[in-house]
Chains A and B, each alone.
Chain A
Amino acid sequence: MSTEAVPLPPVAATPGLDQPAARVLMWRHHLRWWEALPWLAAVAFYFIFPDYLGFATALLVTILFALSLDLALGYAGIITLGHAAFFGAGAYTVGLLAFHGIWTEPITSLALAALAAAVIGFASGVVLLRTQGLTLLMLTLCTMALLQEAANMAHDYTGGFDGLPSLDIAPLFGFFEFNPLYADTQYLYTLAILLVCFIFIRTLVYSPFGQSLTGIRENPLRMHAVGAPVRRRLIICYTISGAIAGVAGGLWAQTNAYVNLSALDLDRAATVLIILILGGYGRLYGAFVGAAAYLALEHFLARIYPTAWQLGLGLLLVIVALYARNGLLGLGEVLWQRYFVRRAAT
Chain B
Amino acid sequence: MIAGIDVASILLGGIAAGTVLFIVSVGLSVTMGLMGFINLAHGAFAMFGGYIIVLAMNRAHFGFTVALALGFAATAALSVVLEQFLYRRLYRAGELDQVLLTIGLIFIFMAALTIVVGPQSQPLQLPPELGGQINLGFTQYRTYSVFLIVVGFFVVAGIWLAFERTRIGAQIRATVDNRRMAESLGINVDRLFTITFAFGSGMAGLGGGLGAEFLGLDPQYALKYLVYFLIAVSVGGLGSVVGVYYASLLLGALDFVLKLYLPKGGTIFIYVLTILLLLWRPQGLFGRKAT
* Contact A145–B108 (Cβ < 8 Å): no
A1 near B265: Cβ-Cβ < 8 Å: no
Say whether chain A's binding surface is mostly helix, strand, loop, or mixed: helix
Q: Looking at A131, A138, A281, A315, which has the most chain B CB atoms within 10 Å of its CB? A: A138
How far apart sit A311 and B265, CA to CA, in the bound complex (Å)? 33
Q: Which residues of A contact B95 (CB under 8 A)?
A: 79, 133-134, 137
Most B CB contacts (10 A, CB to CB) among A146, A310, A321 go to A321
Give, as a whole number of angstroms, the nearest-CB distance from A170 to chain B.
32
Task: Assess the B234–A134 pair: CB atoms within 8 A.
Answer: yes
The answer to whether B100 and A274 have CB atoms under 8 Å apart is: yes
Chain A residues near B271: list those with CB within 8 A.
142-143, 145-146, 149
Report the Cα distance A313→B105, complex, angstroms. 10
Q: For the complex formed, measure the closest distance between the CB of B251 and the CB atoms of chain A, giving whole angstroms.
A: 13
- Looking at the assembled complex, report how far the CB atom of A327 sits from the nearest CB atom of chain B, in whole angstroms: 10
Q: Are B104 and A142 in contact (CB-based, < 8 A)?
A: no
User: B86 touching A274 by the CB < 8 A rule?
Assistant: no
Q: Among B90, B278, B283, which residue has the most Cβ atoms of chain A within 10 A?
A: B278
Q: Looking at chain A, what size class is its interface with the partner chain?
A: 35 or more
Q: Please, which residues of chain B bring their CB within 8 A of the CB of A128?
A: 279
- Which residues in window 260-291 of B have CB below 8 A to A? 264-265, 267-268, 271-272, 274-275, 278-279, 282-283, 291
Complex Cα–Cα for A132 and B97 (A): 16
A-B contact count (CB 8 A): 130
B112 within 8 A of A: yes
Contact of B111 among A81, A273, A277, A314 (CB under 8 A): A314
Q: With an 8 A cutoff between CB atoms, is A221 at the interface? A: no
Query: Interface size on B (CB < 8 Å)?
Result: 46
Complex partner residue of B96 from A73, A130, A313, A315, CB under 8 angstroms: A73
Tell me if B90 and A321 are in contact (CB < 8 A).
yes
**Contact B115–A307 (Cβ < 8 Å):** yes
- Whether A314 contacts B108 by the Cβ 8 Å rule is yes
CB of A236 within 8 Å of the partner chain:
no
B166 at the interface (CB under 8 A from A): no
Q: A145-B271, A146-B275 in contact; A321/B115 too (CB < 8 A)?
A: no
How distant is the Cα of A142 from the Cα of B274 in the complex, in angstroms? 8
Given contacts A133-B95, A146-B272, A153-B265, contact A317 B279 (CB under 8 A): no
The one of B103, B267, B279 that contacts A127, using a Cβ cutoff of 8 Å: B279
Task: Report if A318-B101 is in contact (Cβ < 8 Å); known contacts: A141-B230, A145-B227.
Answer: yes
Closest CB of chain A to B69's CB: distance in Å?
A: 29
Asked if residues B234 and A322 are in contact (CB atoms below 8 Å), the reply is no
Task: From known contacts A135-B234, A137-B95, A149-B267, infer whether A321 and B107 are also in contact, taking CB-CB under 8 Å.
Answer: no
8 A Cβ contacts from A156-199 to B: none
A297, CB-defined interface residue at 8 Å: no
Q: Determine the residue in chain B with the shortest Cβ distance to A138.
A: B234
Interface contact A139-B223, CB-CB below 8 Å = no
Return chain B residues, CB-CB under 8 Å to A135: 234, 278, 282-283, 291
Taking CB atoms, residues of chain A closer than 8 Å to B110 are 310, 314
Question: Which residues of chain A are near B265, meaning CB under 8 Å?
Answer: 149-150, 152-153
Query: Given the interface contacts A79-B96, A146-B268, does A138 sit within 8 Å of B274 by beta carbon?
Result: yes
Q: How far is the CA of A130 from the CA of B280 in the complex (A)?
A: 11
List, in ascending order, chain B residues with CB within 8 A of A266's CB: 223, 227
Cβ B108 vs Cβ A318 within 8 A: yes
Q: Report Cα–Cα, A149/B274, bound state, in Å.
A: 14
B interface footprint on A213-239 (CB within 8 Å = 1, 0 otherwise): 000000000000000000000000000
Q: Is A320 an interface residue (CB 8 A)?
A: yes
Tell me, rounded to whole Å, the shortest Cβ–Cβ distance linking A85 to chain B: 12
A211, B123: Cα distance in complex, Å:
55
Q: A135-B291, A150-B268, A321-B90 are in contact. Are A143 and B108 (CB under 8 A)?
A: no
Query: Is A308 among interface residues, defined by CB-CB distance under 8 A?
Result: yes
Check A310 against B107 for contact (C-beta < 8 Å): yes
Closest-by-CB residue of A relative to B112 is A311
Is B172 part of the contact surface with A, judged by Cβ < 8 Å? no
Residue on A nearest B264 in the bound complex, by CB: A153
Nearest B residue to A133 via CB reads B291
Nearest chain-A residue to B238 (Cβ)?
A134
The chain A residue with its CB closest to the CB of B235 is: A138
Closest CB-CB distance, B44 to chain A, in whole Å?
Answer: 10
Q: Which residues of A contact B30 (CB under 8 A)?
A: none
Q: Kindly state whether residue B34 has any CB partner on chain A within 8 Å.
A: no
Residues of chain A within 8 A of B267, CB atoms compared: 145, 149
Q: Does A316 contact B (CB under 8 A)?
A: yes
**Does A111 touch B at the CB level, under 8 Å?**
no
Subset of 21 A-B contacts with CB under 8 Å: A130-B282, A134-B32, A134-B38, A135-B283, A137-B95, A139-B275, A141-B227, A143-B271, A149-B267, A153-B264, A274-B103, A277-B96, A310-B110, A311-B107, A311-B108, A318-B86, A318-B105, A320-B104, A321-B100, A322-B89, A322-B101
- Report the 4 A-B pairs with minimum CB-CB distance, sorted nearest first: A317-B104, A314-B107, A153-B265, A311-B111
Given contacts A139-B278, A143-B275, 11 further A-B contacts (CB under 8 A): A134-B291, A146-B271, A153-B265, A153-B268, A274-B103, A277-B96, A310-B111, A317-B100, A318-B105, A321-B90, A321-B97
